[in-house]
Amino acid sequence: MTSTKERILNTSLTLFNREGERNVTTNHIAEALGISPGNLYYHFRNKGTIVAALFERYSQNLLALLEAPQGPLTWTIKTHYFEGLLASMWQYRFFHRDLTHFLHADQALAARYQAFVEVVLERGLVIYGELRSSGIIDVDDEQLQGLMVNTWVLMSSWAALVHGLRPDAAADEALDESLMRHGIYQIICLEEPFLRGEAREHLEEMKARYRAVDTTSALLLGHVPGLDRTGSE
């Protein structure tokens, strides 16, 4: 049976993703759960501790995905990594959308996030190193470092870009997920110049797996309330 603490986290995550963390109060969470605010405060003293607990879940989930691979990598294993990244981006999209806000509001969380990113980059370099050893990508050491950093920048900022340009997406789960999937497509485009062997052979298949029907610009700029296509009021 799911504990009250787990129910609070699960409900908070759903509400944060749908409404945005800053639009959700602890009273909203308690009401959605059918519990008193006092019961919620027994488990979490404020909303910030809920965010911190969800970050702990997210970081553990992502770091488990980025465990060092066992043996040579193939393009299908590479797909596994992409699916894991997509699941992370989707499940905890509220955190990426308002990342700067969270880090500025909570120094302890900011320190934990910095340590988390350091580990992500270390493990990512190992994975990209294995991709190079397996003949999946052809990069020198400097390119490998840049590819890893740029991949993380794209992944961690994509949800914020989407949310800023397409605020309507939060209320449309199908659109929201399509936009998140398109973020993986952008990572594939980032890697494309360096792909070799079977990864190059399956490139179009990989692109089709994550690419939306619309182009990136059309997908991101399809609807901006209050603005016409020229950007005028």
Query: 3-state class of 8 per DSSP?
Result: helix
Are 30 and 86 in the same domain?
no
Sign of the C-alpha dihedral computed for residues 193, 211, 79 and 100 taken in this order = positive
What is the domain range of residue 29? 1-45
Residue among 180, 176, 182, 181 nearest 217 (CA): 182
Assess contact for 78 and 131: CB atoms under 8 A. Answer: yes
Residue among 6, 4, 5, 25 nearest 15 (CA): 25
Q: What is the per-residue pLDDT for 167? A: 83
Q: Cα(179)–Cα(185) distance, rounded to whole angstroms?
A: 10
Q: What is the per-residue pLDDT for 58? A: 95
Q: What is the per-residue pLDDT for 210? A: 87
Q: What is the per-residue pLDDT for 45? A: 94
Q: What pTM, to 2 d.p., does this model score?
A: 0.85
Are 53 and 151 in the same domain?
yes
Q: What is the per-residue pLDDT for 230? A: 43
Which CATH number characterizes residue 17's domain? Answer: 1.10.10.60
**Residue 232 domain-assigned?**
no
Which CATH number characterizes residue 151's domain? Answer: 1.10.357.10
Are 99 and 183 in the same domain?
yes
**Residue 230 domain-assigned?**
no
Are 147 and 180 in the same domain?
yes
Q: What is the per-residue pLDDT for 217? A: 76
Assess contact for 190 and 85: CB atoms under 8 A. Answer: no
Q: What is the per-residue pLDDT for 1? A: 47
Instruction: Retrieve residue 112's tokens.
Output: 């934990």
Q: What is the per-residue pLDDT for 171? A: 79
Instruction: Retrieve residue 206's tokens.
Output: 């990989």
Q: What is the per-residue pLDDT for 225? A: 43
Residues 92-147 have pLDDT tens digits of: 999 998 999 999 999 999 999 999 999 999 999 999 999 999 999 999 999 999 99
Are 23 and 68 in the same domain?
no
**Residue 227 domain-assigned?**
no
The list of the chain residues with pLDDT below 50 reads: 1, 223-233
Are 76 and 134 in the same domain?
yes
Are 70 and 136 in the same domain?
yes
Say how many domains are in the chain.
2
Q: What is the per-residue pLDDT for 48? A: 95
